[in-house]
Amino acid sequence: MANLRYAPEFRVQINDQPAPAALRASIASVSYQTGLDSADRVELSLVNENLRWLDHALLRLDNRLTLSMGYASDPLQQMFVGEIVGHSPTFPSSGVPMLTVVAQDRRHHLQQSRQTRWFAIPVRCLGNLPMSDRTITSMVSLENMLIPISDPISAALSVLLGSAEAAIYLGDPDMMQKMIRKQAGESDFDFLRRISHENGWEMLIDHSEPQGGWKLRFLSLAEHLSSDLTLKYGQSLIDFSPRLTTVGQIAGISVRIWQPDIQMEFTIKVSWDWDRNTLNLSVASGFGQSTGEKGEKNVQRDILLLEEPVTQQSAPRLIMSKLFERLNQRLTGSGNTIGDPRLLPGKVLRLEGIGEQLGGLWRVTSATHTIDSGGYRTSFDVRKEIWFGSIPLLEQGAVRVHVQHQPLLSASTRGM
């Protein structure tokens, strides 16, 4: 009984000060939306009686807003730190006027302008040398007053890939120039997201204390495969709707590369073997030629040819980012549960009671936390990532549902 939760609670701070009691009492509902590919967003729906909050100084644009959520008697979890970016008042013909206050995290600053520039280190006698992706993401983050944080695995992979490429093309000035990262008419947000996808990272704002809302994390989710929380259908999992599709599904991705020194074109293909959970690589000379493990030509419909400029140094990262993006969309789902502040993007859910194929580990891609007159509830979107295939289903909690059949009554028994 000590673990039961009865009273949802939230706390709002504006400019690091608790919201006044009058403002807190006017909040009819609060909603927090967070995801992997967009800025986090908070919406406060206020009862705007006598238009008292319409032009109030507390709700001015750019004011700092902090939201914590949880349950009464337990410490609330700081969920969001950002800035007020918009107001949406309503003036109905009948009823009470309402005011929706919208806030976003500091990533919205990354989207405000587009830039064209390149990132290189000038070295005498060698010309311009490319910067590592880790250095570039740190520079752009600090320009926008964000603290860049990379997990050890992400940082190590970036350094190794960059060092290997630089070592290979150190004696070729033309290839070194092609390795230089260029931001061509992109916003800082799109530029950082592109670099993240090519390195297999996810870009998230860390709202936890201290310095919540100022920390921009670059994470390698492939290294985080253990469950953070468990939901069971019929208990904590209220409902769940999975979607299994092969629309747009591919077996592999191919790119073509022209090698000018030998006047030859190569086709590089990377594919995923669903039966063995393995990644396969093949290289063949000539456009459109791609062979499998036994040298047999694959079916062309299973190959996506990227009509993008590709070089030897950019091909591996480009292929991997495009391939995994599509493979991880094969099995997705959405669900609802009682409000849980731990349910955030990047976390791993263990779903039980939904069978062997659909049960087990899922990655949270987005979540919406809502507190209103109906209580505290959390809706979420998830995906089955290919990395989870390396974990036995039994260890994931994916168990076949056994149906107990009731014996049929005989005719004589029914008559009684």
| Domain membership flag for residue 167 | yes
Residue 105 has pLDDT above 70, yes or no: yes
Q: Which of 352, 349, 383 is nearest to 225 (CA)?
A: 349
- C-alpha to C-alpha distances, 94 to 89, 90, 98, 402, nearest whole angstrom: 14, 11, 12, 55
Question: How many domains does one find in the chain?
Answer: 4
The token pair at 167 is 């070592």
| Domain membership flag for residue 391 | yes
| Domain membership flag for residue 233 | yes
3-state helix, strand, coil in the chain (%, to 5): 25, 40, 35
Helix (H, G, I), strand (E, B) or coil at 405: coil
Residue 125 has pLDDT above 50, yes or no: yes
Helix (H, G, I), strand (E, B) or coil at 142: helix
What is the pLDDT averaged over residues 288-293?
46
| Residue 171 near residue 261 (C-beta atoms within 8 A) | no
What is the pLDDT averaged over residues 391-397?
75
On whether both 233 and 376 belong to a single domain, the answer is yes
pLDDT of residue 257: 64
Residues in contact with 349: Cβ distance below 8 Å, sequence separation at least 6, in sequence order: 227, 228, 229, 230, 231, 343, 361, 362, 363, 364, 380, 382
Name the residue type at position 55: D
Residue 76 has pLDDT above 70, yes or no: yes
Q: Which of 157, 139, 150 is nearest to 198 (CA)?
A: 157
| Domain membership flag for residue 78 | yes
Task: Establish whether the linkage from the previous residue to 210 is cis, with ω within 30° of 0.
Answer: yes
| Domain membership flag for residue 385 | yes
| Domain membership flag for residue 415 | no
On whether both 299 and 377 belong to a single domain, the answer is no
Nearest-angstrom CA–CA distance, 365 and 228: 14
Q: How confident is the model at residue 278 (pLDDT cuts 50, 70, 90)?
A: low
Q: Which residue has the higher pLDDT, 300 or 186?
A: 186
What is the pLDDT averaged over residues 178-183?
81
| Residue 59 near residue 44 (C-beta atoms within 8 A) | no
pLDDT of residue 250: 55
The token pair at 155 is 């940082």
| Domain membership flag for residue 211 | yes
Kindly provide the b/e burial profile for residues 23-60, where b requires at least 16 CB atoms within 10 angstroms of the residue's own CB: beebbeebbbbbbbebbbbbbbbbebeeeebeeeebbe
Print the domain residue range for 124: 110-222
Look up the CATH number of the domain holding residue 240. 2.40.30.150
| Residue 100 near residue 85 (C-beta atoms within 8 A) | no
pLDDT winner (highest mean) among 37-41, 247-251, 386-390:
37-41
What is the pLDDT averaged over residues 145-162?
68
pLDDT of residue 389: 73
Residue 205 has pLDDT above 70, yes or no: yes
On whether both 92 and 235 belong to a single domain, the answer is no
Average pLDDT, the chain: 80
- Predicted structure pTM score: 0.79
| Domain membership flag for residue 320 | no
